[in-house]
Amino acid sequence: MIRKFAIIAVTVPFLAAACATTPAARGGATGAAVGAVGGAVIGNQVGSGHPRTGAAIGAVGGAIAGAAIACQQQGGCQHNPNNPRHSQLYYDQHNDRYWYEDHQTGNTYWQNGEPRTRAPRR
């Protein structure tokens, strides 16, 4: 039973990460998977041995940490005019949306932080 729970706890967040559109969502899903595994192991070894409780707590903590780290790496999850990495907002008439460029990576993002384009890797 514990093995089945561990497989589900790891698989579901990774599948969610594959479908996520923003870096914060992918980071949160990956963090949840890692946190669930770590929490299950710690929960099983500490106290009265409740791996499910440990996995749940670890998944929540991992999701929060993963999303925060992904936003930090991206330079923020939404456009921030005070962030020196972000360009000014530009208007895309075809999509009727605003976008900005991350000067450090060359990637462009919609105003809400969703990826718009990726710069070619060098």
Cβ–Cβ < 8 Å for 78, 84: no
Cβ–Cβ < 8 Å for 111, 98: yes
Contacts of 98 (CB under 8 A, 6+ apart): 79, 89, 90, 91, 92, 110, 111
Render each residue's pLDDT in the chain as its tens digit; 122 residues. 556 655 665 565 555 555 555 666 777 788 788 888 888 888 777 766 778 888 888 888 887 787 777 776 666 677 777 778 888 889 999 999 999 888 888 888 888 888 888 777 65
Domains of the chain, residue spans = 2-74, 79-122
Q: pTM of the entire structure? A: 0.52
